[in-house]
């Protein structure tokens, strides 16, 4: 019985992964307004999952998530200043309705999501597809390298209370594979230059931080998955927590104006 359940979960996980890869590649490739619309929908889903952590009333969760998505939409479609003002109002509104001990931590995560999605939109639509794929591949490399090196080498745990399986060897393994993937991009694409190797480690670190931070919020809320929207994977936050951290790293790089956009 357990073997059948495990096989069923594995099949669902594999099918979901294939579907996500196909859809992700399609929407990244097509770009334009459709890509922006998809990001707006994703922002609503991610916000909805965070609001689900403390079991807000169903209608309140949906309306608050829509409010957050509209603020994000206003940033990428209309007015950045107006959007930032609305974001501040939203966070005040969130504090009033949430009345929860970890309001500050969840608000920080909402801000990370907001600016990460903005950066993803800008990077894909204003900079280029290759650079966007590079960041995504850095996240995947960090995750895969961390998993296999951590399981193979083992050693001291990184933060057992929050993520019992993560080790320091896995963290370093993630950095190394990210560097290797970046070097391959340098060889294959002229858009990716040698100094990107240094930024790849920064992106890997923030990707790992995004993963840990989401685990921290879930543990505080006493839940295993952010939702059950993706069969075999859990929720969108469970799959994109590393991406949120990585694109926020790119946001920081751009914000401090290193080399007038590193790209």
What's the confidence (pLDDT) of residue 112?
A: 93
| Contact status, residue 231 vs residue 21, Cβ threshold 8 Å | no
- Domain span at 231: 2-255
What proportion of the chain, given as a percentage, has pLDDT over 70?
86
Q: If we measure between CA atoms, which residue out of 204, 205, 199, 197 comes closest to residue 179?
A: 197
Q: If we measure between CA atoms, which residue out of 230, 222, 243 comes closest to residue 119?
A: 243
If residue 166 lies in a helix (H) or strand (E), which one and from where to where?
Answer: strand 163-167
- Residue 186 in any domain: the answer is yes
pLDDT digits (tens, 9 = 90+) for 171-189: 888 899 999 999 999 999 9
Phi, psi values for residue 259, rounded to 5°: 60, 30
pLDDT digits (tens, 9 = 90+) for 131-157: 999 999 999 999 888 888 877 887 777
- Residue 46 in any domain: the answer is yes
Helices and strands (H and E) in the chain: how many: 9, 2
Question: What's the CA gap between 172 and 178, in Å, rounded?
Answer: 10
- Residue 263 in any domain: the answer is no
- Residue 23 in any domain: the answer is yes
Burial bucket for residue 248 (CB in 10 Å: 0-12, 13-18, 19+): buried
pLDDT digits (tens, 9 = 90+) for 78-121: 888 888 999 998 888 877 776 666 778 888 899 999 999 999 99
| Contact status, residue 165 vs residue 233, Cβ threshold 8 Å | no
**93, HSE (Cβ side, Cα atoms, 13 Å):** 14
What's the confidence (pLDDT) of residue 245?
A: 93
| Helix (H/G/I), strand (E/B), else coil: 164 | strand
Question: Number of structural domains, the chain?
Answer: 1
- Residue 249 in any domain: the answer is yes
- Residue 262 in any domain: the answer is no
Any residues with CB less than 8 A from the CB of 257 and at least 6 apart, and which?
none
Residues in the chain: 263
Q: What is the pTM of this model?
A: 0.87
| Residue 260 confidence class, pLDDT cut points 50, 70, 90 | low
The pLDDT of residue 228 is above 50: yes
The pLDDT of residue 205 is above 60: yes
* Pair of tokens at residue 54: 């403390």
Mean pLDDT of the chain: 82
Query: What average pLDDT does the segment 224-248 reach?
Result: 80
* Pair of tokens at residue 159: 């933060």
| Contact status, residue 210 vs residue 244, Cβ threshold 8 Å | yes
pLDDT digits (tens, 9 = 90+) for 43-75: 999 988 888 776 666 777 888 889 999 999 999
The pLDDT of residue 10 is above 60: no
Phi, psi values for residue 158, rounded to 5°: -75, -55
Integer CA distances (angstroms), 206 to 69, 78, 110, 155, 243, in order: 24, 29, 16, 22, 9
- Residue 180 in any domain: the answer is yes
What's the confidence (pLDDT) of residue 5?
A: 42
If residue 159 lies in a helix (H) or strand (E), which one and from where to where?
Answer: strand 157-159
What's the confidence (pLDDT) of residue 179?
A: 94
What proportion of the chain, given as a percentage, has pLDDT over 90?
30
């Amino acid at each position: 019985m357990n073997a059948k359940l495990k096989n069923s979960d594995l099949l669902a996980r594999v099918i979901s992964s294939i579907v996500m890869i196909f859809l992700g590649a399609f929407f990244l490739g097509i770009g334009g307004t459709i890509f922006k619309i998809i990001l707006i929908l994703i922002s609503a889903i991610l916000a909805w999952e965070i609001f689900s952590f403390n079991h807000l009333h169903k209608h309140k969760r949906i309306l608050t998530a829509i409010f957050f998505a509209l603020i994000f939409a206003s940033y990428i479609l209309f007015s950045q200043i107006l959007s930032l003002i609305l974001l501040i109002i939203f966070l005040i509104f969130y504090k009033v309705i949430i009345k929860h001990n970890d309001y500050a931590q969840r608000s920080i995560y909402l801000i990370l999501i907001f600016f990460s999605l903005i950066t993803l939109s800008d990077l894909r639509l204003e900079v280029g597809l290759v650079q966007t794929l590079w960041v995504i591949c850095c996240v995947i490399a960090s995750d895969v390298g961390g998993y296999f090196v951590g399981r193979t080498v083992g050693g001291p745990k990184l933060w057992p209370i929050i993520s019992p399986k993560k080790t320091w060897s896995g963290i370093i393994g993630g950095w190394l594979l990210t560097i290797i993937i970046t070097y391959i991009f340098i060889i294959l694409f002229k858009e990716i230059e040698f100094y990107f190797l240094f930024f790849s480690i920064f992106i890997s670190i923030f990707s790992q931080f995004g993963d840990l931070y989401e685990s921290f919020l879930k543990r505080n809320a006493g839940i295993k998955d952010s939702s059950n929207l993706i069969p075999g994977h859990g929720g969108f936050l469970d799959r994109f927590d590393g991406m949120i951290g990585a694109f926020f790293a790119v946001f920081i790089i751009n914000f401090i104006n290193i080399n007038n956009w590193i790209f």
